[in-house]
Structure 1
Amino acid sequence: MSTRWRSCLVVIARNEAATIARLLTSVRPFVDELLVMDTGSTDDTVRLAEAAGARVAHFPWINDFAAARNAALDAAGADWHIVLDADEWLVGEGGGAALEALRDTAPEFIGTIALQDHFDGGTAQSRLSRVLPGHIRYTGRIHEQPAHDLPVRALDVHVAHDGYLPERLHVKQGRNEELLRAAVDEDPANPYLWYQLGKDFSVYDRFAAAEAAFANAADRLTSLPFLPAWWNDLVARRLFSLKSLKRHADGMVFAETQLQRCADSPDFFFALGDLLLDWAADEPQRAEALVPMIEGAWRRCLEIGERPDMPGAVEGRGSRLAAYNLALVLEATGRPEEAKALRGAR
């Protein structure tokens, strides 16, 4: 008789009444148990979680995500833990079967899920390690990571996330910054923490602070023989911050150092075209020199195509969004037929 491995969805939550039932309902048919670790809700989170079939435990919030997640994992005690957040939910057709298959799969690897972030104006893709053998625990005060030396396997599990939509962002404002600053104080040489701090600033349009954080991260990485998977995302976000600060020349200098490193990233070339277009709009006397570079950047996006395998990749930058922007440039430079053909091809 084959071994049957027990699976559990593990969630930490506080004041997530608006979304907790959506998550639990989406995953419930495919796992053996639902565990919600409440960290101090004052709304209906606990009642709604229990009504959706979850077992609810309680843990006092101590400004440490790893501590809360590890307490939840201890309480769950399953062979497989599927770790999701309350503002996420299972989507697509294959994810349920992939989760059900864990019951017949030995917990000997880390499983990644495909996460689709919804934000104001689009979606971004990433892969995250969220399917964990029972003994794995987290480290890190914020943007915590599972500590392990196991093989990693991509699972056909797709999860959507809407925590970056405007109506959700205001609830989180300040919380992550406080924790990230504390984490940076504890480990100031860690480029990943500086990158995450820059992301948090940019989400709230604090571009000067974002640029300082991104520059700090970049300075700690550029001398390394290899770069992390999130480097392309850092570069694209930094270019957007520099554009927003009207530091176009600085952005161009930085972009030139990244042409080879980011040669296969549509997000990089899209951000570069965006920065150059803004520069040309601000300084029309530069337009004659800049327009060919703008056009070249967006053509390169289309040559590369979509790259959802790259962390932080924004859907459309390798296809429809780049095509739309390029068509506008073609029309503005007296090439309406080319623009029409481009729109028709897309």
Structure 2
Amino acid sequence: MLLSACLIVKNEELTLRRCLESLQGVVDEIVLVDTGSTDRTLDIAREYTSKIYHYDWDNHFAHARNESLKHAQGEFILVIDADEYLDDIKRHSLREQLTHIEADGFLVNILNYVGENGKIFSTRPVSVVRLFRNGYFYDGSVHEQIAEAIMKAGKQISKINLDIHHVGYLNEIFTYKNKSSRNILLLKEELEKDPQNLFHLSNLLAEYIRLSNFHQALKIVKKSLDIIRKKPPSSWDHITARIFVFHITTLVGLQKNIEAEEIASKYIMVYPELAEFRTRYGMILAENGKFKEAIEQFNFARKLGDPKEALFDLVQGMGSFLAALMLGRCWIALGDKDTALQYYFTSFLENPNQDILIFPLVYLLPYEKKFFEQEIEPRITDPVALASYCEAYFYKSPDDIYHLIQRIESKIAQATVLERVKLAVLYKQDPKKALEIINTGLQNPYLISLSILIKINNRCLQINDIPDFPDDRIQTLKNVLLCEYSSTPISPFLRDILLFNCHDLLSEWLPKAPDRYEAYLYLMHFPELPCDFNWSGETAWECEMLALRAFKNKNLDVADIWLAKAANHSLTITRLLLECDVALAKERTIFAQSCLQIGLKEFPESQLLKNVAIQLGISSTSQYDEKYQLECVSEMVEMRASDIYLKNSVHTMPFHMQLSALHERAANLVKYIYSCYKQEKILELRKAIEEIQNIITFIRGSLDLSLEASQAADKVYAFYYKMSVEWFIQPQNIEQNYEEMENFWRSWAETWKKV
């Protein structure tokens, strides 16, 4: 007999059948040890094997696992759990591989899936010994190991081409089996025997994080770090890296984003080859509003790529499709849908079955039926992702949705995932009939919550009308009915609000919701916002939206006020283009062009800015040569007025005393601008900058550019004009070079007095 499969089970009815099916035709026998099942586990097992044994559970996995090994007859043993299954492709070559292999232990790839239905992610494959020659036994009460026994025997461990998929960490299964409570108890017992064991500490950390018990996780992190610091960095291994990842996750879970950013910035230097740390660092930077820096990290992660193999549970796609997805989100946050779409589509090509990607991708893609049917739809195979595709497609082309639903239903067995979008289609066609179906779902929590949502929007529901149903969504909607918007997140309801046209509720709820920025970014993928919002102007992006509204209403003064309020924050493409629009409306073309040139320098990858530059007749490569500008500045500062006079350029600068006064006025304005900056009087600051720009424009207009010296002078004034534009849109830059600017104007005021 070549190969035995050994399992230990307890209440595995949710997953056991899939596991045993994957073993058919691969193993010669299935040995199953049950430790006390009370569900249908044994009934399912009897359909596949007669070698079923009972073992009284003694809180020790290795003991139970070894009991199964005692009954195995095969030359080789494959150890697999009930919540795992063999890869459908690679399993067929396993027997052939075993016939000509010499090692005693074999590393296989374990692909862990995490999340919940609709949002499932796989980690990078973790290499562990699950296949070995008969005769070895396990050690360890939890997360038991066998590799050490093989190495102690002086035998070889090699790699074999086999993938095992593990779904036991999915929320539904994990919660159903209450695994964390059991594992925590066993891990604590192990740590009492060996308190310095980082392997057990990392596993204990994983359990607390799965339970979202981040306060307890932080205690374990601190204990682990104390142990790690006593070891030389050269000895830090994959377990150390795993603890560092959990450290970042714990801080983010505790919403300590500033500390998480600081810690992550250190860990990327410890493990520079792992894209996981780069992408996690980028995610924190993005959460902290540092999108430009985040983009740099995500691009770096993509250059590193995903590791081919991993010794701990890295999230799959951190060096590929997930990094591309996050790049798309960053560009959306900055206000560039064109570049965002490029990254979303790249992410889609690398992994089409990302439910969280489908919506933004479909919303941003220009609608072309043939392209969607040939390039998008055939690539998606996951049922939940297909359902999301239907829902997103409904916004693009409601008339074609029936044919799409029919095609999707023919592809998937779980047609229930399409019920929501089918209900939304019916609601659009026949609201009365759809509401009858919704209102009859008395035992369906989703339908009850949907009914409440629609009634709140239509203002036909009282608080006493909400049923006392044990469901989080329903209880949350009670707060909405009481207008307690500021304490009630809107994101969990946003898709239903949009699908069923609850726009009145959306306009009231979103501006006050605690997660309004997250919801706003989701809405930014639409061609237009579905309704108007009364933003408070508390954040930079709200100021930008209010400035946009004022600009559309041709109220440029109000637009200026809101742009001034947004200017103290990081520059975005949305604000930069609004500055250009307002400048063009005021016929300040040079300022608008300078804004755009600064934008191209700040965001050289922005496809939107490149497109706008073409429209304004500006090449993205035609920016002033800064090195040449600085040389001209240096030359002009050192040049005396008499030198200019000798070059005959003074005749191109009339009204010498007026020029001196203008330079003196500009110097005083710079001093005033710095004072405004310190006092955060941004609107007054911007008005003073505009006056300096008018002075520069006047002086440049008086130059005779046929003369070489005048051309050099023009370059200098252009340099300071550009600097003033940078101050206008990024006031934080004033601190860096206001002295240089003031000295330039002051020195030339004195120079012109002497001419």
- Of the structure 1 ranges 209-218 and 194-203, higher mean CA displacement relative to structure 2 is found in 209-218
Pair 9,300 (structure 1): closer, same or farther in 2 beyond 3 Å: same
Offset, 1:232: 3.2
Offset, 1:39: 0.9
* 1:76 match: secondary structure: coil
In the alignment, the residues of structure 2 paired with residue 92 and residue 250 of structure 1 have an alpha-carbon distance, to the nearest angstrom, of 43
Offset, 1:197: 0.2
Q: Which runs of 5+ in 1 are unaligned?
A: 281-286
In the alignment, the residues of structure 2 paired with residue 16 and residue 176 of structure 1 have an alpha-carbon distance, to the nearest angstrom, of 16
State the match for 1:258 in structure 2.
267
Indicate which of 69, 74, 79 corresponds to 2:75. Answer: 79
Indicate which of 89, 96, 117 corresponds to 1:93. Answer: 89
In the alignment, the residues of structure 1 paired with residue 132 and residue 7 of structure 2 have an alpha-carbon distance, to the nearest angstrom, of 13
Indicate which of 204, 209, 212 corresponds to 1:205. Answer: 212
Offset, 1:106: 6.0
Superposition pairs of residues 44-193 of structure 1, within 5 angstroms = 44-102=40-98, 104-105=99-100, 108-120=103-115, 121=119, 122-124=121-123, 125-146=125-146, 147-149=149-151, 150-170=155-175, 171=177, 172-193=179-200
Report if aligned partners of 1:88, 1:160 keep a CA contact under 8 Å in 2.
yes
Report if aligned partners of 2:328, 2:344 keep a CA contact under 8 Å in 1.
yes
Indicate which of 231, 237, 244 corresponds to 2:240. Answer: 231
In the alignment, the residues of structure 1 paired with residue 100 and residue 190 of structure 2 have an alpha-carbon distance, to the nearest angstrom, of 36
Report if aligned partners of 2:302, 2:323 keep a CA contact under 8 Å in 1.
yes
Report if aligned partners of 1:94, 1:156 keep a CA contact under 8 Å in 2.
yes
In the alignment, the residues of structure 2 paired with residue 189 and residue 215 of structure 1 have an alpha-carbon distance, to the nearest angstrom, of 13
Pair 132,215 (structure 1): closer, same or farther in 2 beyond 3 Å: farther
Report if aligned partners of 2:79, 2:131 keep a CA contact under 8 Å in 1.
yes
Letter in 1 for 2:111: Q
Report if aligned partners of 1:80, 1:107 keep a CA contact under 8 Å in 2.
no
Offset, 1:165: 1.2
Pair 144,92 (structure 1): closer, same or farther in 2 beyond 3 Å: same
Report if aligned partners of 1:323, 1:342 keep a CA contact under 8 Å in 2.
yes
In the alignment, the residues of structure 1 paired with residue 244 and residue 95 of structure 2 have an alpha-carbon distance, to the nearest angstrom, of 34
Offset, 1:208: 1.5
- Of the structure 1 ranges 302-311 and 85-94, higher mean CA displacement relative to structure 2 is found in 302-311
Offset, 1:6: 2.7
Offset, 1:233: 3.2
Report if aligned partners of 1:276, 1:294 keep a CA contact under 8 Å in 2.
yes
Offset, 1:23: 1.2
* 2:330 match: secondary structure: helix
Q: Encode CA deviations 1:165-199: one digit per residue, 9 max, x unaligned.
A: 11111112311111111111111010111100000
Report if aligned partners of 1:31, 1:100 keep a CA contact under 8 Å in 2.
no
State the match for 1:295 in structure 2.
295
In the alignment, the residues of structure 2 paired with residue 217 and residue 77 of structure 1 have an alpha-carbon distance, to the nearest angstrom, of 42
In the alignment, the residues of structure 2 paired with residue 215 and residue 92 of structure 1 have an alpha-carbon distance, to the nearest angstrom, of 42
Letter in 1 for 2:30: L
In the alignment, the residues of structure 1 paired with residue 343 and residue 26 of structure 2 have an alpha-carbon distance, to the nearest angstrom, of 44
Report if aligned partners of 2:328, 2:341 keep a CA contact under 8 Å in 1.
yes
In the alignment, the residues of structure 2 paired with residue 91 and residue 54 of structure 1 have an alpha-carbon distance, to the nearest angstrom, of 24
Offset, 1:274: 1.9
Offset, 1:335: 4.1
Report if aligned partners of 2:22, 2:88 keep a CA contact under 8 Å in 1.
no
In the alignment, the residues of structure 1 paired with residue 222 and residue 142 of structure 2 have an alpha-carbon distance, to the nearest angstrom, of 20
Larger radius of gyration: 2
Offset, 1:110: 0.8
State the match for 2:313 in structure 1.
312
Offset, 1:218: 3.2
Structure 1 runs of 4+ with >6 Å offset: none
Indicate which of 245, 257, 260 corresponds to 1:248. Answer: 257
State the match for 1:322 in structure 2.
323
Q: Which runs of 5+ in 2 are unaligned?
A: 348-755
Letter in 2 for 1:148: I
* 2:168 match: secondary structure: strand
State the match for 2:340 in structure 1.
339
Letter in 2 for 1:255: A
* 2:184 match: secondary structure: helix
Pair 99,228 (structure 1): closer, same or farther in 2 beyond 3 Å: farther
Offset, 1:86: 0.5
* 2:4 match: secondary structure: strand
State the match for 1:220 in structure 2.
227
Offset, 1:344: 4.2
Letter in 2 for 1:193: H
Q: Encode CA deviations 1:241-280: one digit per residue, 9 max, x unaligned.
A: 10111223332332233223221212111211222333x2
Higher relative contact order (CA 8 A, sep 6+): 1
Report if aligned partners of 2:108, 2:161 keep a CA contact under 8 Å in 1.
yes
Report if aligned partners of 1:37, 1:72 keep a CA contact under 8 Å in 2.
yes
Letter in 1 for 2:109: A
- Of the structure 1 ranges 76-85 and 228-237, higher mean CA displacement relative to structure 2 is found in 228-237
Superposition pairs of residues 264-303 of structure 1, within 5 angstroms = 264-278=273-287, 280=288, 287=289, 290-303=290-303
Greater strand fraction, Structure 1 or Structure 2: 1
State the match for 2:25 in structure 1.
29
Report if aligned partners of 2:103, 2:158 keep a CA contact under 8 Å in 1.
no
State the match for 1:284 in structure 2.
none
In the alignment, the residues of structure 1 paired with residue 96 and residue 8 of structure 2 have an alpha-carbon distance, to the nearest angstrom, of 22
In the alignment, the residues of structure 2 paired with residue 100 and residue 52 of structure 1 have an alpha-carbon distance, to the nearest angstrom, of 23
Q: Encode CA deviations 1:106-142: one digit per residue, 9 max, x unaligned.
A: 6642111111111113111211110011111111110
